Each structure stands twice: as structure tokens, then as C-alpha cells.
Amino acid sequence: MKKIIFTEKAPKAVGPYSQAVEMNGTLYIAGQVPLDPQSMKVVEGGIKEQTQQVLKNVGAILEAAGYTYSDVVKSTCLLANMGDFKLMNEVYAQFYSENPPARAAFAVKELPLGVLIEIETIAMRG
């Protein structure tokens, strides 16, 4: 059965989508951008600060659904500039230091709200 996941600790959806959907022990988290959940404004700073906020938002959704970062099996990172890859990786590694998930990273022409990064996430119950 499809279950919609929502938490006030992550940014509200800015379009016709859910923060996350859980089905059959798999959690699909919509692409998260570096919005502060309280102000709904893009966090100040560069790629490191934005990546940190995105992964905090992912963590809040994981927690709301009863998952942890260790349950994450796949991430897709969308970058506005592939030159930010190294710095993004440094922050990402802090959240997935052991047994990191499979991952793809792409440079895209543009991201919503002019942000530098968006990450979508899939987690599964072990």
C-alpha cells in the first residue's frame, strides 16, 4: 500500500509532489534542494553549505518514515556545476561514511530556485 510521508522538519513540496512515498518497504524521497524548512529560503553559502542542508532534509524525511541513512541504497545527485563535485563529495562522505549507497551524479543545465545541488534518495528496509 502506498504511504505518503510528510514532515515539517523538511521543506514543503514546492509543486505537485510528495516529500516521499513508501511502498513495500521501499522509501522514495523526492529530490531535495537546500531550503531551510522553517523559512523556505535557500541556505546561504556555497556547495558545501547547500549539500549539508540537502542531506539534513533527506535525514529528516528518513527519520519521519522510520529509516536511517544506513537504509539508503541509492542517491542521485544533480549539480549545477560539475566543478562542485569534489566539495560536494566531502560533505556527502560525512553522511555516508560506512557502506555508502550506490550513486549517480550529473551536471544539469539548471536546478529549481537557482540552487547548486538537488539529491533524490531511495531507501529500503533491511
First to last CA, the chain: 18
CA distance 90 to 51: 10
Domain containing residue 113: 3-124
Quote the pLDDT of residue 110.
96
Q: What is the CATH number of the domain that holds 101?
A: 3.30.1330.40
Residuewise pLDDT in 10s, the chain (126 residues): 999 999 999 999 988 999 999 999 999 999 999 999 999 999 999 999 999 999 999 999 999 999 999 999 999 999 999 999 999 999 999 999 999 999 999 999 999 999 999 999 999 997
CA distance 117 to 79: 5
- HEC string for 87-106: HHHHHHHHHCCCCCCEEEEE
Query: What's the structural domain count of the chain?
Result: 1
